[in-house]
Amino acid sequence: MNKTFERIKVATMTELPKNLGKTVLIGSQEIALFHLDSGEIRAIENRCPHKGGVLAQGMVSGDYIFRPMHDWKISVLDGKVQAPDTGCVRTFKVEIENNEVYVLL
């Protein structure tokens, strides 16, 4: 099955400080955008699988974030919650073109 993505411009690179998250609201879809230490931009759903808390304000560490409410560790690359906790957060594809950041929805 082919899925068509909507490509949505959400920010320019200069608006996203390194190692911090940004809340992005596309319609009613809330996304947490992270500028990682490696320079990559990653996007995941801004809801944690545990109690539905926000993730954009988590502490960024490498490719992981530590969620603000109960300190779970979540990979922003694949959305997987790290042991000993379990679960998964939805991830979104990100494309960067001429310093503009696009999320594929």
Partner 1 sequence: MAVGIKPNIQLAAESGIPVNRGIIVNDYLETGIQNVYAVGECAEHREMVYGLVAPLYEQGKVLAERISGMEGNPYQGSVLSTQLKVSGVEVFSAGKIIEDSETKTIKVFDDWKGTYKKVLIQEGRIAGAVLFGDTSEGRKLLGLINKDADVSEYTERAESEQSAIGLAASMPNEEIVCGCNGVTKGAIVGAIEAQGLTSFEQVKGCTNASRSCGGCKALVTDLLEVTLGDEFSAANQQEAICSCTTLSRDEVVKEIREKELTHTREVMNVLGWKTDNGCSKCKPALKYYLGMIHPATYEDERESRFVNERLHANIQKDGTYSVVPRMYGGVTNAADLRKIADVADKYNVPLIKVTGGQRIDLLGVEKEDLPSMWADLDMPSGYAYGKTLRTVKTCVGENFCRFGTQDSIGMGIAMEKKFERLNTPHKVKMAVSACPRNCAESAIKDIGVVGVEGAWEIYIGGNGGTHLRAADLLCKVKTSDEVLEITGAYIQYYRENAAYLERTSVWVERVGLDHIKSTLADKQNRTRLNQRLDKALSVLTDPWKETINSETIQKELYQTVRVPAASKY
Binding site for partner 1 (CB under 8 A): 6-11, 15, 17-20, 22-29, 33, 37, 51, 53-54, 57-62, 64, 66, 68-69, 71, 73, 83-85, 102
Closest listed residue to residue 105, CA positions, set 36, 45, 35? 45
DSSP 8-state symbol, 88: B
> Distance between CA 44 and CA 84 in Å, rounded?
21
DSSP 8-state symbol, 46: S
Q: How far is the CB of 69 from partner 1 (least distance, A)?
A: 7
Q: How far is the CB of 17 from partner 1 (least distance, A)?
A: 5
Listed in sequence order, the residues at least 6 apart from 25 whose beta carbon sits closer than 8 Å to its beta carbon are 31
Identify which of residues 1 and 6 has a Cβ nearer to partner 1 in the complex.
6
Q: How far is the CB of 79 from partner 1 (least distance, A)?
A: 18
